[in-house]
């Protein structure tokens, strides 16, 4: 594998009562959800930025601006589909994704398998090449106080 490319994506959203909680394309029952113009899926937003960055392409906010009415309430899976099209045009493919989600709620353990499967599906990679870890902020900062959620994703790309 020559011409390996690594990208890093980070996304942070405020958690608000009554908002749906969608993470890695999976709807999770929770009293709070990420606040955003789209569905607020921090995992997919970070994954898209990681993949686009590895390919040397524009970032999520540039390709899908908050000011565009088409993005209001938009399913973040659509951002994944478009980013995959763009990297394929550059003759690249996703080799692996490594995901860290920092949150006090929801608890991710019961949803990890489904989240990994959905990420694998959205980015056309084998599920065993997707890892997802949940981390607690141990009561520190806005994440520890259940006011925010953050996802960090590292993506590895290779020639298609």
pLDDT bucket at 26, cuts 50 / 70 / 90: very high
pLDDT tens for 90-148 read 999 999 999 999 999 999 999 999 999 999 999 999 999 999 999 999 999 999 999 99
Question: What CATH number is given to the structural domain containing 52?
Answer: 3.30.1330.50
Mean pLDDT, rounded, for 47-71: 95
Among the listed residues 123, 113, 126, the one whose alpha carbon sits nearest the alpha carbon of residue 80? 123
Instruction: Answer yes or no: is pLDDT of 29 > 70.
Output: yes
Q: Are 14 and 150 in contact (CB under 8 A)?
A: no
**Alpha-carbon distances, residue 154 vs 41, 44, 82 (angstroms):** 16, 12, 18
Mean pLDDT, rounded, for 75-89: 97
Structural domain count, the chain: 1
Cα separation, 130 vs 155, in Å, equals 9
Instruction: Answer yes or no: is pLDDT of 2 > 80.
Output: no
pLDDT bucket at 1, cuts 50 / 70 / 90: low
Among the listed residues 159, 152, 87, the one whose alpha carbon sits nearest the alpha carbon of residue 122? 87
In what order do the strands lie in the sheet containing 148-159? 32-34, 5-17, 148-159, 92-102, 130-135
- pTM score, two decimals? 0.96
Among the listed residues 97, 127, 122, the one whose alpha carbon sits nearest the alpha carbon of residue 26? 122
Q: What's the domain range around 83?
A: 5-159
Per cent of the chain over pLDDT 90 is: 95
Averaged pLDDT score across all residues of the chain: 96
């Amino acid at each position: 594998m020559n011409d390996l490319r690594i990208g890093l994506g980070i996304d942070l959203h405020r958690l608000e009562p009554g908002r749906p909680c969608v993470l890695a394309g999976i709807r999770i029952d929770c009293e709070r959800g990420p606040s955003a113009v789209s569905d607020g899926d921090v995992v997919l937003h970070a994954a898209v930025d990681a993949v686009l960055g590895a390919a040397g392409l524009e970032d999520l906010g540039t390709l899908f601006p908050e000011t565009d009415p088409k993005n209001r309430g938009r399913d973040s899976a659509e951002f994944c589909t478009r980013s995959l099209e763009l990297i394929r045009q550059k003759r690249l493919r996703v080799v692996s994704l490594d995901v860290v989600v920092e949150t006090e709620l929801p608890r991710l353990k019961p949803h990890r398998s489904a989240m990994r499967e959905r990420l694998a599906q959205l980015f056309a990679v084998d599920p065993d090449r997707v890892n997802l870890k949940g981390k607690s902020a141990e009561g520190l900062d806005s994440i520890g106080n259940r006011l925010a959620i953050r996802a960090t994703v590292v993506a590895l790309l290779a020639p298609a």
